[in-house]
Structure 1
Amino acid sequence: MDGIVIIGAGECGTRAAFALREAGYSAAVTMVGAEPHLPYERPPLSKPMNGAVQMKPICAKEALEAAGIDYLQGLSASKLDADAGSVTLGDGRMLRYEKLLLATGARPRRLNCVGAERALDFRTHADAETIFANVKAGRSVAIIGGGLIGMELAAVLRGKDVTVTVIEAAPRPLGRAVPQRFAEKLVARHAAEGVRFHLGRGVAAISDEGVTLTDGTVVPADLVVGAIGVLPETALAEAAGLATGNGILTDTCLRTSALNVFAAGDCATVAQPGGGHIRYESWRNARAQAETAARNMAGAAETFAAIPWFWSDQYDLGLQVAGLPQPAHQGVVRSVPEGEVEFYLDDGRLVAAAGLGLGNGLAKDIKLAEMLIAAGANPDPAALVDPGLNLKMLLKSARAA
């Protein structure tokens, strides 16, 4: 079988398959997915409805069939031979390809302590079902890891009247991706909701009683969840001799070091115009890279240059971040009835924006800020503070300039 083969059936792999058809690619498209389901959205996993974990399909079976996409579910790729242009699946069959997309995603980072196997992962639909089937009011859960996934899960569990403790080795939760101003506000909200924190301490052991910290403190827990981040899934690429380093290395067009092999999504680390590589972990990035990779596999030569963006819902608060805020940037805070938006300027140029407010109330502001970033705007910081400033008019002026 020739044509294009996609390894991975998450957001990235599935979007790439449909984007190939949209780009006019008419030869065979085969998508291989390890899970025994139709492709599904991961964000809803932390938001059960009526006590049941949501299985929100990315597409229907009929949509795959209508697009002529051959979906091989419940199968993994065991070997890639880039020189021969073939990939071998777990059931022994071999697929030949004209071009290959590695959309293998990421896997949970494992704890390294006594009893680590007792900690549950929170990545797949099966993981979510296991967790929520074992929690109910009055029970206690220890979440190891104070990143976005761990904190989102904490918020959901508190809504179920579950006792929640978050254990984080760093001095503060949400320290890696969330601007400090909003991280502090979110942590304060968690504390007000009754979440307990153990910060700046590692985990020594996990047992039936709970979690023993490196300072000897024992955190009682009926259930322990490991949420210490993810690692890019690169085993297939490494075994095939592809260049890797915190992900599968690609050029700006998402081509790997192997001829006719591309990579996109959580597994890919993309070359930057100024040097180095960056790997992004977000729903938006998975889709954007999938579309660029698909068009390039269909014959284009586009440079991937999307602005990073992610969101997080915790309690009734919505966080959105566009761009890459850095401590060295000049921060300008704008207070509006829906919440707060902080703009980040680098030598006068708007490079990032973040907002925290009720629900989705700041979505329009962040979208306009994202468009201002793309337009290369150099706004007056004093004007940005003014909640009466019309960002749409500012965007119009920036584009005219």
Structure 2
Amino acid sequence: MSGIVIVGAGECGVRAAFALREHGYKGSVALLSEEMHLPYERPPLSKQCLPAHKPIRPKADYQQAGIELCLRTRIEALDLAGHRLLGRDGSSRIYDKLLLATGARARLFPGMEGAATLRTFDDACRIFERLRAGARLAIIGGGFIGLELAAAARAMDVQVTVIEAASRLMARGVPAEIAAIVEARHRAEGVDLRLGMQVAALVAGGVEIADGSTVAADIVVAGTGATPNTELAEKAGLAVGNGIMVDSRFRTSAPDVFAAGDCCSMPYRGDWLRLESWRVAQEQGAHAAAAMLGAVGEWTTVPWFWSDQYDLGLQVAGWAAAEAKTTIRHLSDDAAVAFQHDDEGRLICAAGVGRGNRVAKDIRLAEMLILREARPPADQLADPTFNLKSLLKAA
């Protein structure tokens, strides 16, 4: 049976499947997943003390929408000329159009072999079943995943050490001023932060640092980023570069083949960008579905990310740049928003942190300003009493 086939049943793939039906597509839709579990939300895996399998959609929804959900299905090869997918079990499937939503997998650098990773529900179960009060957890990497796990583990009275090669936390994700607030909170919660330290190897009872010292640990988890799952695309001859390369309508280098979500790299404001985000995955899945039906134009959405650590909510709109000019809006002692501008004064990123949803309104307004390529005055952005909403009119 031909029709539209989606390889990958994460947030992106599931959203695409249902979006096809919402757009009135009547043909067959097949959603293929390597996992045994009903497609689930990944954000709760690193933010809760007990792993929870939270389905993206109930099983009945797939049946009602006429979506063929195929679990434990691994695709080994893609025949572009024949519009055919070949499974590990020897099966084959013809497609009219194909969406690759293969996601990404945890990345391990040399010396980290043997470390646990947190990417799937099964990963989370294996990690949290070993955590108990007094246990020693070493986390390699001071990014979102590692810090979320650190916060969850501290709530269980686990001893936590975070080892980060950079001189500060979240160096790739947020400006330094925002990272400093998060760092202070982790230190106050008793997390041992080892910044500017390279891991040499995992050893019995812990982690050996490049300077010869050792961090004692009962369990070691690597949170050092993710690698896009591009093997299927590469073997088929699709263009790949830090992800499956697509245009602004998620079309790959082959006719009738699209890619979206964590696995794809796409043009964004003069650069190539691969995004790993729950909301971005949803938006790209919906947009790719519409694009496969010829019902939508280019994707111009501003990237948006979030992280919860303790009672702090961190949000980012746009894409942080290490060398960009930054303006800080101080909302309180533990809440601030950092705005970044390009050389021409355009707002390109806003990152904020505060208790609960303290920064949500400011980030949402910044997101709209970034989309409109606004050039807001720095003094107005820095003034916590100034109403940012008024800047939208000028933009």
| TM-score where L is the length of structure 2 | 0.95
Does the Cα contact within 8 Å between 1:111 and 1:226 map onto a contact in 2?
no
Q: In the alignment, does 2:362 pair up with 1:378?
A: no
Q: Helix, strand or coil: the match of 1:333?
A: strand
Does the Cα contact within 8 Å between 1:269 and 1:279 map onto a contact in 2?
yes
Q: In the alignment, does 2:129 pair up with 1:136?
A: no
**1:23 CA drift (Å):** 1.6
Per the alignment, residue 95 of structure 1 pairs with 93
| Cα gap change, 1:301 to 1:150, in 2 (>3 Å) | same
Does the Cα contact within 8 Å between 1:375 and 1:398 map onto a contact in 2?
no
AA in 2 matched with 1:391: L
| Cα gap change, 1:256 to 1:268, in 2 (>3 Å) | same
User: How far, CA to CA, are the matches of 1:320 and 1:73 in structure 2?
Assistant: 33
User: How far, CA to CA, are the matches of 1:169 and 1:183 in structure 2?
Assistant: 15
Per the alignment, residue 342 of structure 1 pairs with 338
Per the alignment, residue 61 of structure 1 pairs with 59
Greater mean deviation of Cα atoms: 297-306 or 262-271 = 297-306
AA in 1 matched with 2:314: L
Q: In the alignment, does 2:155 pair up with 1:120?
A: no
**1:301 CA drift (Å):** 5.0
Q: Helix, strand or coil: the match of 1:305?
A: coil
- What is the aligned-residue RMSD (CA, Å)? 1.6
Q: Helix, strand or coil: the match of 1:312?
A: strand
Q: Helix, strand or coil: the match of 1:118?
A: coil
List runs of 5+ in structure 1 lacking aligned partners: none
Question: 251, 273, 279: which is aligned to 1:278?
Answer: 273
Q: Helix, strand or coil: the match of 1:285?
A: helix
Per the alignment, residue 21 of structure 2 pairs with 21
User: How far, CA to CA, are the matches of 1:110 and 1:330 in structure 2?
Assistant: 33
Per the alignment, residue 282 of structure 2 pairs with 287
Per the alignment, residue 244 of structure 1 pairs with 240
User: Over residues 70-104 of structure 1, what are the superposed CA-to-partner deviations in whole Å (9 max), with x where a residue is unaligned?
Assistant: 00011111111011001012222111000000000
**1:152 CA drift (Å):** 1.0
AA in 2 matched with 1:31: L
Per the alignment, residue 307 of structure 1 pairs with 302
Q: Helix, strand or coil: the match of 1:62?
A: helix
User: Over residues 305-358 of structure 1, what are the superposed CA-to-partner deviations in whole Å (9 max), with x where a residue is unaligned?
Assistant: 110110111111111110123244332222235821222223232222111110
Per the alignment, residue 78 of structure 2 pairs with 80
Does the Cα contact within 8 Å between 2:47 and 2:148 map onto a contact in 1?
no
**1:383 CA drift (Å):** 2.0
Per the alignment, residue 349 of structure 2 pairs with 352
Does the Cα contact within 8 Å between 1:341 and 1:353 map onto a contact in 2?
yes
Does the Cα contact within 8 Å between 1:139 and 1:163 map onto a contact in 2?
yes
The residue correspondences of 1:186-335 to structure 2 (distance < 5 A) are: 186-272=182-268, 274=270, 276-300=271-295, 302-335=297-330
User: How far, CA to CA, are the matches of 1:219 and 1:339 in structure 2?
Assistant: 32
**1:117 CA drift (Å):** 4.1
Per the alignment, residue 369 of structure 1 pairs with 366
| Cα gap change, 1:273 to 1:344, in 2 (>3 Å) | closer
| Cα gap change, 1:218 to 1:168, in 2 (>3 Å) | same
| Seq. identity, % | 52
Q: Helix, strand or coil: the match of 1:189?
A: helix
| TM-score where L is the length of structure 1 | 0.94
User: Over residues 344-390 of structure 1, what are the superposed CA-to-partner deviations in whole Å (9 max), with x where a residue is unaligned?
Assistant: 22323222211111011211221111112223322222222222222
Does the Cα contact within 8 Å between 1:145 and 1:166 map onto a contact in 2?
yes
User: How far, CA to CA, are the matches of 1:327 and 1:123 in structure 2?
Assistant: 27
Does the Cα contact within 8 Å between 2:47 and 2:308 map onto a contact in 1?
no
Per the alignment, residue 42 of structure 1 pairs with 42
Per the alignment, residue 32 of structure 1 pairs with 32
Q: Helix, strand or coil: the match of 2:339?
A: strand
User: How far, CA to CA, are the matches of 1:131 and 1:327 in structure 2?
Assistant: 33
Greater mean deviation of Cα atoms: 279-288 or 99-108 = 279-288
User: How far, CA to CA, are the matches of 2:134 and 2:56 in structure 1?
Assistant: 35
Q: Helix, strand or coil: the match of 2:116?
A: coil
| Cα gap change, 1:255 to 1:323, in 2 (>3 Å) | same
Q: Helix, strand or coil: the match of 1:367?
A: helix
| Cα gap change, 1:143 to 1:273, in 2 (>3 Å) | closer
User: Over residues 178-208 of structure 1, what are the superposed CA-to-partner deviations in whole Å (9 max), with x where a residue is unaligned?
Assistant: 1111112211211121111223232222133
Does the Cα contact within 8 Å between 2:139 and 2:220 map onto a contact in 1?
yes
Q: In the alignment, does 2:384 pair up with 1:392?
A: no
Does the Cα contact within 8 Å between 1:78 and 1:236 map onto a contact in 2?
yes
User: How far, CA to CA, are the matches of 2:57 and 2:78 in structure 1?
Assistant: 27
User: How far, CA to CA, are the matches of 2:349 and 2:219 in structure 1?
Assistant: 38
User: How far, CA to CA, are the matches of 2:114 and 2:323 in structure 1?
Assistant: 40
User: How far, CA to CA, are the matches of 1:386 and 1:271 in structure 2?
Assistant: 34
